[in-house]
Amino acid sequence: MGSEISLAHLVLNASVVVQFVMALLLLASIISWTMIFDRVRIFKHARIEADDFENKFWAGGELSQLYRKLDSSQQQGMASIFVHGFREFARLSEHKSVDVAGLVGGAQRAMRVAFAREMDQLESHLPFLATVGSTSPYVGLFGTVWGIMHAFTALADVKQATLALVAPAIAEALIATAMGLLAAIPAVVAYNRFAAEVERLGGRYDNFLEEFSSILQRQAYG
């Protein structure tokens, strides 16, 4: 219990600049954890959605029936790519002047737009996590340096400097470095994990786009 009181005492008695640095790092940490939990939920939903759609798509049913079923509601992920591609393919098929290359090319462009939109949603918040992970240690170090400078400056008016006089101020300053690391480490770990997840899902989406393009091309020739 004493250590908790001592830590709170050090924070409350730190200089204004160090307290500002601590508050900034605490805010960054809170926002980072909020984004981390949000991304965990988003990626879990994206994986489940992709598995569910692939099961439906490769079940062997009519693509038009699957499209009508999915087009009636807002779709995300792989289903969104399919809906946009099939919709454009069906629209262009109504024009007799459009050849096979035009049909498939138009569907691919529509799917690429949907693919880019889905990737933007998956990558949302990742730049912030990368920024927190890369800058928080330096922000904390700035607070520490400032606190140590403030501690030694205060010794100028003291006739006899002792460790007991300077130790509390140095401890206050070092807390800023610790908070910087506490904010940075989870952000870096989460960013690396989520970046790998984005790459895996992006690969699945891209593979489906190419496979579906081949199916549409065969259907156009048929």
Q: Range with the lowest mean pLDDT among 8-22, 81-95, 135-149, 163-177?
A: 163-177
The answer to whether position 2 is within a domain reads no
Q: How confident is the model at residue 71 (pLDDT cuts 50, 70, 90)?
A: confident
Domain range for residue 132? 18-221
pLDDT of 154 strictly over 90: no
In this prediction, residue 144 has a pLDDT band, given cuts at 50, 70 and 90, of confident
| pLDDT score of 88 | 92
Closest CA relative to residue 27, chosen from 19, 37, 15: 19
In a domain? residue 11 = no
Kindly indicate the confidence band of residue 15, based on its pLDDT and cuts at 50, 70 and 90: confident
Whether 171 maps to a domain, the answer reads yes
Share of the chain above pLDDT 70, in %: 89
Is the pLDDT confidence value at 6 over 70? no
Q: Is residue 178 part of a domain?
A: yes
Q: What is the pLDDT of residue 23?
A: 92
| Residues sharing a CB contact under 8 Å with residue 199, sequence separation 6 or more, in sequence order | none
10 in any annotated domain:
no
Instruction: Give me the pLDDT at residue 166, please.
Output: 66
pLDDT at 162 over 90: no
Residue 12 lies in a domain: no
Give the sign of the dihedral formed by CA 216, CA 218, CA 219, CA 221. positive
Which pLDDT tens digit goes with each residue over 106-138?
999 999 999 999 999 999 999 999 999 999 999
Mean pLDDT, rounded, for 169-183: 86
> Is residue 1 situated within a structural domain?
no
Query: Given a cut of 50, is residue 54 above it in pLDDT?
Result: yes
Residue 8: inside a domain = no
| Residue with the two structure tokens 């900034």 | 24
pLDDT at residue 12 above 90? no
pLDDT of 73 > 80? The answer is: no
Number of domains in the chain: 1
Whether pTM exceeds 0.75: yes
67-90: average pLDDT = 88
Question: What mean pLDDT do residues 64-87 have?
Answer: 88
Residue 36 confidence (pLDDT) above 90: yes
Model pLDDT, residue 59: 87
**Local confidence band at 3 (pLDDT 50, 70, 90 cut-offs):** very low
